[in-house]
Amino acid sequence: MKDRPSRLRARPLAVLGALAVMLASSVQAQVAPVPILPPPGQLVNVSIRTKLEVNQTIVLGFVVSGTAPARILMRGIGPGLARFGVTDAMAHPRLMLTAPSSSGSINLYNTNWQTPPSFLSLTDTVRQVRIEGQTSGFPLLPSDRDAAILADLSPGAYTITVSADVAGEAGTVLAEVYNVNYTVRPNETRLTNLSALGYYSETSPLLAGFVVYGSGGNRYLLRSIGPGLRAFGVPNAISDSNLELLFLNDSGSTNPTFGIIDDWDATPGNAFRIRQDSLLVGAFPLTPNSRDAALSTGMMINTPQNGYLQRCILRGGGPPGASGMMLLEIYEVRPEPTDY
């Protein structure tokens, strides 16, 4: 994904002159120390929780952007969910990481987080518990047969899948992607696109959690795609999809933001913004009257007491009784400051 190019705007001479006078008159003023703030908001984590039936798979895609490799922690959690009251957790999850040739032709899998893929050292695996502390992920226990991969990934597009490692097994799983470097090299590498493809039903909802870190604002494009998947040959796509954005508080409760967003082009203003942002981030266009859902929204983060972290949930849904394959997408748009 390419960043939106910045636009230089001319400033009238009168405004510049007034600014000079203000600066000159403030020479005698005492200047308070300016705190060092994190950079503007960026995506640092995404997770998707769903229940997999026999032979089903959850697919989570992400894009690493920037000028340097990013240390990415990927996890496929099954047994570890039992500690949080999940009674039908998958006992043997399998995690696979793949990338096209442009990103290095990676094809790795893991079925036990204590057994690293061949290109990771034992030191990396031992250090994983410390890294999980940095990324707010809960620690994995030696007794849990969860899956994880820790890798330094060059800029490019990647995909992880979580499925059953034992034939005929089903259960609830949690797929996660963390950018470990987000506080170390925030201007060199970041996650710019996160997506999750899975099966939705009223008894098996599709929930994507994501975390935004920073001290300012950024614009994000959120999409819940069902009917639009048919053009790509996805079988059993849901015929009507909606979405809801929730903010997660420290207490664990959620605050709805805009209510349930249904048809993406229900209003001309929303449709215009969705078309613009989709083109800007390289997302495939949505067809008019397709009954897919989308929301383009700015997000301001000014909460130092929370470590400049905003935890969010993107909930995909459909009409009563609907079910089928659904794609949830989260794009970083990086707008001009005047968009706020």
**pLDDT score, position 96:** 93
pLDDT tier at 151, thresholds 50, 70, 90: confident
113's CB contacts (< 8 A; 6+ apart) are 75, 125, 128, 140, 144, 146, 147, 148
Instruction: Report the predicted TM-score, pTM, of the whole model to 2 decimal places.
Output: 0.78
What is the average pLDDT value for the chain, to the nearest integer? 77
Q: Look up residue 79 and give its DSSP letter.
A: G
Half-sphere exposure of 282 (CA within 13 A, CB side): 10
283: DSSP letter: P
Rounded Cα distance between 223 and 207, Å, is 13
pLDDT tens digits, one per residue of 111-122: 988 876 644 444
Q: What pLDDT was estimated at residue 336?
A: 47
Which of 160-164, 233-237, 244-248 bottoms out in mean pLDDT, i.e. has the lowest? 244-248
Distance CA 217, CA 299 (A): 5
Instruction: State mean pLDDT over 124-144.
Output: 63
Asked if the model's pLDDT at residue 309 lies above 90, the reply is: no
Who wins on pLDDT, 126 or 86?
86
CA dist., res. 49 & res. 76, Å (int): 10
pLDDT at 193 over 70: yes
**Per-residue pLDDT at 301:** 57
- As a whole number, mean pLDDT of residues 4-21 equals 36
SS3 277: helix
* Residue 283 pLDDT: 92
Query: What tokens appear for 26 in the block?
Result: 């403030």
HSE at residue 35, side-chain half, CA atoms within 13 A, is 6
Amino acid found at 62: F
Closest CA to 47 of 311, 308, 292: 311
Taking only the tens place, the pLDDT of each residue in 31-55 is: 444 444 445 677 888 888 888 999 9
